[in-house]
Chain A
Amino acid sequence: MYVAVKGGEKAIHNSVQLLGDVRRGDSSVPELQTNQIEQQLRLAVAKVMNEGALYDPMLASLAIKQASGDLLEACFLLRAYRTTLSRMGYSLPIDTHGMRIQRRISATFKDLPGGQVLGATYDYTQRLLDFSLLDKHQPEQLELSQDNAEAMESILAVFDQENLLESDLPLEGDPDPKDITREPIHFPADRPTRLQNLVRSDEGFLLGMAYSTQRGYGHTHPFAAEIRFGFVNVVIKPDELDFCIDIGEIEVTECQMINQFAGSKDIPPQFTRGYGLVFGHQERKAMAMSLVDRSLRAKELGESIESPAQMEEFVLSHSDSLESSGFVQHLKLPHYVDFQSELELVRRLRQKASEVDHNE
């Protein structure tokens, strides 16, 4: 005789215990340290800080370790922790023109003031497995030149002379951006709201959306005017003080994508912008973000909205990996009651159908 299932609590406890054991793996292999993750898996750390919406390499590394390298799970851990943090205030806007450059390239101009700075990137490597990394090895010590101390003006300044590119200066009376972590997104959403959502959005989702605009679902003709990666200062101005305080620096990647625009009744033909800015070194995400930002401006620029990447409700409502991962995976939870209701319905419909057949 069936007895109603009991013992869920014990089973959960055991599952959690087992998880700790499986996470550790073979105990004869030395345990992974979070500083190793921080130093040697820096791109994973950057992704987790972005989508986890918290700039803290140490905690991001801890999250990656705790999540056995499942980066979406790590983002989730970081976000749940973020909920418990009290908010001290907002920083002033970061100044990316004053960035301490580690890499800066332009695909629109061959040579430019400050030059192309390649930095450390996988872009120019041949993707051959390097079997020498299987063994411990001591890399040659590089003699690095001094950091590029000079701030590099954004390449887009070259357009200023001719007004060929729309301005990115805020209009007079431009309101402070809304904070999407304190006010839920309300549609139609303004651009600062959209950009906040895109920064936190899942890289894979954003990449797919951006790619779709290149394949005819939405029309953009983008050029990567400038991609820069480096350090920027974070500055706060406390209410009670009349001066600014520099509280440290963070690594960011910025992408300025420019797009051809045929012009409209009111605006002469010119180039328009798509903008991407993310924590850490994340060029793929910054580029995808700038493409999607531009395509979401369709309404503002009077373009017809036909493709998913132009539809802000579609993009912004499905971009967050915590939301999508949680809801897709909630299907693992028991659905006995709903399923029972459907089962009963299907049986009755079949019964009815067979009665009808019988009568005919």
Chain B
Amino acid sequence: MSDELNTTSSHSGFNFAYLDEQTKRMIRKALLKAVAIPGHQVPFASKEMPLPYGWGTGGIQVTASIIGRDDTLKVIDQGSDDTVNAVNIRKFFQKTTGVQTTENTEEASLIQTRHRIPEFPLKEGQIMVYQVPVPEPLQRLEPRETETRKMHALADYGLMHVKLYEDITHFGKITSTYDYPVLVDHRYLSAPSPIPKFDNPKLHQSKALHLFGAGREKRIYAIPPYTDVDSLGFEDHPFELQRWDQACALCGSKDTFLDEVITNDEGGHLFVCSDTNHCQRSQKNGAVHDS
């Protein structure tokens, strides 16, 4: 993030990064509070953006309020730089800020994401901005905010533990596969947003700053660098990672999150990396691919 936050308009009629400076200040205040209380949801006066609620307005507002002219922005959706939502949001920031964009994870100072954390390890100084549909991890169990607020205040997360326990009694295992609940800094139960649980360990003691924006639900929360992030589990049923029997059909990676691709109408399918940038680079580096 640039020290100097620029206010000049880069696209006729709109302020730098669309939001007016007063709104950016309001959001930055919420961000500071969120960083000071890791995992705690901070309410903020979310604005209507030119993209619909549910399509990344929280992440867009966070990015818009911290982006500076010297930033290099990467936008991904489902791990890919080229899906419709990622393309649209990247274009929005190109138009309203004119900042440089990239597909390379390590070149980016700011990465806005929906549903994935890049495979390439993040480094100090990088900021991840997550688009969050449902910031309240307890919402599906208790829809009333008046109640969940009390549970957070008392750190009373029995409801979630009972849910996980019931999973085990019904299915023999915990059945949350994405948006898998985490305890941040041993205090606040948080939603890592719908990243696959495969990505959860990347949050623990991460070198990067992770900011979460939920526009429709009007909440911001954060995981600062080097914070403990524990995925919930039990001693006899600990958190476990997803695994694939296959390797990526394009680059041969065996340690990445794989998407399944249908290849014909006879049930043929193969697996490829969800992180397209990482996959292309592995292919270039002549990783295991030999088919």
Asked if B258 is at the interface (CB within 8 A of a chain A CB), the reply is yes
Determine chain B's interface SS by DSSP, over half rule: loop
B171 with A4: CB separation less than 8 A: no
Kindly identify, within residues 149 to 186 of chain B, every residue whose CB is under 8 Å from any CB belonging to chain A: 171-173, 175, 177-179
**A65: shortest Cβ distance to chain B, in Å?**
17
B258 contacts across to A, CB distance below 8 A: 340
In the complex, residue of chain A having the shortest beta-carbon distance to the beta carbon of B49: A80
On chain B, the residues within 8 Å of A313 by CB distance are 143-146
Q: How far is the CB of B254 from chain A (nearest CB, A)?
A: 15
Q: Assess the A329–B196 pair: CB atoms within 8 A.
A: no
The answer to whether the Cβ of B210 comes within 8 Å of any Cβ in the partner chain is: no
Tell me if A183 and B52 are in contact (CB < 8 A): no
Q: Is the Cβ of B145 less than 8 Å from the Cβ of A187?
A: yes
Interface size on B, residues (CB 8 A): 71
Minimum C-beta distance from B237 to chain A (A): 14
**Closest chain B CB from A319 CB (angstroms):** 13
A84–B20 CB distance below 8 A: yes
Q: Give the contact stretch, choosing among B32-40, B82-90, B201-209.
A: B82-90
A177 to chain B, nearest CB (A): 15
User: How many whole Å from A18's CB to the nearest CB in chain B?
Assistant: 15
A337 touches B196 (CB 8 A): yes
Q: A333 contacts B272, CB within 8 Å?
A: no
How many residues of chain A get a CB closer than 8 Å to chain B's CBs?
49
Proximity string of chain B (52-77) to chain A, C-beta cutoff 8 Å, 1 when within and 0 when not: 11110100000000000000000001
Closest to A86 in B: B20
Q: Is the CB of B53 within 8 A of A334?
A: no
CA distance A188 to B150 in the complex (A): 13
Cα–Cα distance between A183 and B47 once the two chains are bound (Å)? 10
| Min C-beta distance of A308 to chain B, whole Å | 12
| CB-based contact B178/A338 at 8 Å | yes
Min CB distance, B265 to chain A, in Å?
Answer: 14
1/0 per position for A216-228, CB-CB distance to B under 8 A? 0000000000000
Q: Does A229 contact B (CB under 8 A)?
A: no
Known A-B contacts A313-B143, A313-B146, A336-B274; A8 and B47 likewise in contact (beta carbons under 8 Å): no
Q: When the two chains form their complex, are residues B270 and A83 in contact, meaning their CB atoms are under 8 A apart?
A: no
Which A318-347 residues have a C-beta within 8 angstroms of B? 322-323, 325-330, 333-338, 340-345
At the interface, yes or no: B6 with Cβ under 8 Å from chain A? no
Q: Is the CB of A83 within 8 A of B263?
A: no
CA distance A50 to B217 in the complex (A): 21
Q: How far is the CA of A341 from the CA of B270 in the complex (A)?
A: 15
Question: How far is it, in angstroms, between the C-alpha of A343 and the C-alpha of B53 when the chains are bound?
Answer: 27
Decide: A76 and B196 in contact? CB cutoff 8 A: no
Cross-chain contact A334 with B84 (CB below 8 angstroms): yes
Name the segment of B11-19, B121-129, B227-235 touching the other chain. B11-19
Chain B residue contacts of A344, Cβ below 8 A: 177, 242, 244
A5 within 8 Å of B (CB atoms) = yes
Q: Which residue in chain B gives the minimum CB-CB distance to A78? A: B48
**Smallest Cβ-Cβ distance to A3: which chain B residue:** B250
**Set of chain B residues within 8 Å of A79, measured between Cβ atoms:** 48
* A5 proximity list for chain B (CB < 8 A): 80, 82-83
Q: Any chain B CB within 8 A of the CB of A186?
A: yes
The proximity string for B residues 106-119 relative to A, scoring 1 for CB distances below 8 Å and 0 otherwise, is 00000000111000
Tell whether, in the assembled complex, residue B145 and residue A8 are in contact, meaning their CB atoms are under 8 Å apart. no
What residue in chain B is nearest A349 (Cβ atoms)? B171
Smallest CB–CB gap between A259 and chain B, Å? 26
Complex Cα distance, B177 from A344, in Å, reads 9
* Cα distance, A11 to B87, chains bound together (Å): 10
> B260 interface residue, CB < 8 Å from A?
yes
Query: Complex formed: what's the CA distance from A11 to B86 in Å?
Result: 13
Q: Are B84 and A8 in touch, CB under 8 angstroms?
A: yes
Task: List CB contacts (< 8 Å) of B192-220 with chain A.
Answer: 194-198, 216, 218
Pair B146/A187 contact, Cβ less than 8 Å: yes
What 6 pairs across the A-B complex have the smallest Cβ distances?
A326-B53, A330-B54, A326-B52, A341-B177, A327-B54, A79-B48
Contacts A2-B263, A188-B146, A323-B54 aside, 18 further interface pairs with beta carbons under 8 A come to A5-B80, A8-B82, A9-B87, A12-B87, A82-B48, A84-B15, A323-B216, A327-B133, A330-B133, A333-B85, A334-B77, A336-B78, A336-B259, A337-B178, A340-B259, A342-B177, A344-B177, A344-B244
